[in-house]
Structure formats: C-alpha cells, structure tokens
C-alpha cells in the first residue's frame, strides 16, 4: 500500500461510514471490512515507523519515552 498516513486515515473513515450505513450487502460488508483492516494495519505501520525515527533522532535506545 502506497498511501500517506493522512490519505489512509481518510479512506479508513470512508470505510467506517459505509459499514455504519447498513446499506451494504453481506459480501460488500466483508470486502469493505477487509480493506479497512488493511488500511488500519498500514496506518499502524506508518506510526510505528515514525516513532522509530523519532526515537533514533532523540538518541534513545528504548522508545518507552514516547
């Protein structure tokens, strides 16, 4: 996935709106949910990467400070 954090969050919000609408078929719901899980994992990975970069820049060995 090659989305910025901001774009991935926006897509995740759209997915949540679709799921909450109740207007999707079962197959569509599963598909949107699956994509939302991928987006959430992508966002989590981007945040973890940013946390590691900040930890390195701060010269900390252990990221518990953040």
pLDDT tens, position by position, 9-39: 999 999 999 999 999 999 999 999 999 999 9
pLDDT band at 66 (very low <50, low <70, confident <90, very high): low
Is the pLDDT confidence value at 63 over 80? no
Give me the residue spans of the domains in the chain: 5-58
Q: Map tokens 């949540």 to a residue.
A: 16
CATH code for the domain defined by 5-58: 1.10.287
* Exposed/middle/buried for residue 15 (C-beta within 10 Å: 0-12, 13-18, 19+): buried
Is the pLDDT confidence value at 65 over 90? no
pTM for the predicted model, two decimal places: 0.81
What pLDDT, on the 0 to 100 scale, is given for residue 1? 84
Average pLDDT over residues 39-50: 97
């Amino acid at each position: 996935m090659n989305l910025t954090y901001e774009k991935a969050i926006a897509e995740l919000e759209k997915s949540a709106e679709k799921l909450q609408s109740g207007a999707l078929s079962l197959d569509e719901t599963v598909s949107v949910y699956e994509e939302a899980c991928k987006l959430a994992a992508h966002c989590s990975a981007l945040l973890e990467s940013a946390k590691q970069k900040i930890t390195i820049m701060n010269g900390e060995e252990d990221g518990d400070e953040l």
